């Protein structure tokens, strides 16, 4: 599988961070696995019109996180993993159902993303507090 980066220049997120985040997400979803080769820096530069130093900075960051290894004249290879593979998780289908219902209800992608991020922040921030988060049973609509 050829892995390609998508750079959103309007997002406000630095391009090298977008590259790092996309590799991390692909690892979490099982789209990249140890042994897979990332596109060469040159190929990324040609496809995205980024500065070569930006791509190299991203690859160095991934290397410092223990996720990739750059082998001179051979390329950059995935060497680490992140969490369990969520790509085939039963949670994916449930989240897809929730997203579809939200879209049908008129929520835009950005609205749903902001809402989900807020829920995650509430859940994981409260996890570190002394009070346990309230558990609300799933309700069918």
Flag whether pLDDT at 86 surpasses 80.
no
Question: What are the residue boundaries of the structural domains of the chain, listed by start?
Answer: 15-78, 90-126
In the prediction, which pLDDT does 139 show? 46
According to DSSP, residue 108 is labeled: -
**CATH top-level class of 15-78:** mainly alpha
So what's the pLDDT on residue 43? 95
Mean pLDDT of 28-43: 92
Average pLDDT of the chain to the nearest whole number? 85
- Please tell me the predicted confidence (pLDDT) of residue 136: 46
Question: Is the pLDDT confidence value at 104 over 60?
Answer: yes
**Residue 141 confidence (pLDDT):** 43
Q: Higher-confidence residue: 93 or 65?
A: 65
Tokens of 33: 């696995």
């Amino acid at each position: 599988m050829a892995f390609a980066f998508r750079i959103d220049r309007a997002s406000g997120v630095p391009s090298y961070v977008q590259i790092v985040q996309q590799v991390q997400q692909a690892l979490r979803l099982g789209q990249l696995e140890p042994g897979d080769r990332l596109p060469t820096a040159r190929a990324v530069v040609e496809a995205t019109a980024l500065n070569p130093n930006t791509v190299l900075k991203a690859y160095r960051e991934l290397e410092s996180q223990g996720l990739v290894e750059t082998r001179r004249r051979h390329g950059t290879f995935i060497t680490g993993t992140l969490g369990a593979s969520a790509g085939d998780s039963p949670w994916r289908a449930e989240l897809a159902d929730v997203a579809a219902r939200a879209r049908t209800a008129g929520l835009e992608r950005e609205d749903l993303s902001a809402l989900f991020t807020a829920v995650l922040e509430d859940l994981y921030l409260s996890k570190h507090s002394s009070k346990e988060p309230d558990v609300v049973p799933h309700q069918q609509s």
